[in-house]
Amino acid sequence: IKPGQLVVDLGSTPGAWSQYVRRKLSPKAPSGSGGAAVGELNGRIIALDMLPMEPIEGVVFIQGDIGEEAVLTELTAHMQGQLADVVMSDMAPNLSGISSADAARIEHLVELALEFAQQHLKPEGALVAKVFHGGSYDALYKRFSETFVTVKRLKPKASRDRSSETFLIGLALKNP
């Protein structure tokens, strides 16, 4: 994430990733700001979630379901004809505890992020998507490998050791 980029944050609530990107796109944030997302914004951030999110200066927030055509249309309108440099997907379903049903829900959300990236990401762009190890992980990794030139796996330090949460990062679309 670099200044001047367009970043789309899917599943943005409560806003931590948007705040992180805000800091990355504000290279001249005042010292002593305690890491707060302040300063002149060099780039654009569009965030989307089904749940409400507290406003973040400079971040366009859309409340809605990316699976709904009207919400997708609103999101792309805010992109103003520009392709995204980075699409982040931290979308996660409400888990039921039934592993097969939860795996299908997770897979569906990652598929939505992949479809969005294939349509609205720059050819050299990146998709970062939260996935969970389980029944759908291998299929999702395969889909990333079919879609992107490079695929990386990342387990954030902030993620608990026992958590099955991990991120797949797809770099550069194979068939833009």
Please tell me which residue in 2, 28, 130, 174 is annotated as part of the active site: 130
* 152 carries an active-site annotation: no
62 and 78 Cβ atoms separated by less than 8 Å: yes
Count of positions (residues) in the chain: 176
Pairing of β 84-89 and β 6-10:
parallel
DSSP one-letter code for 37: S
Q: Torsion-angle region of residue 35: left (phi > 0), alpha (psi -120 to 50) or beta?
A: left
Amino acid at 63: Q
Active site residues: 130
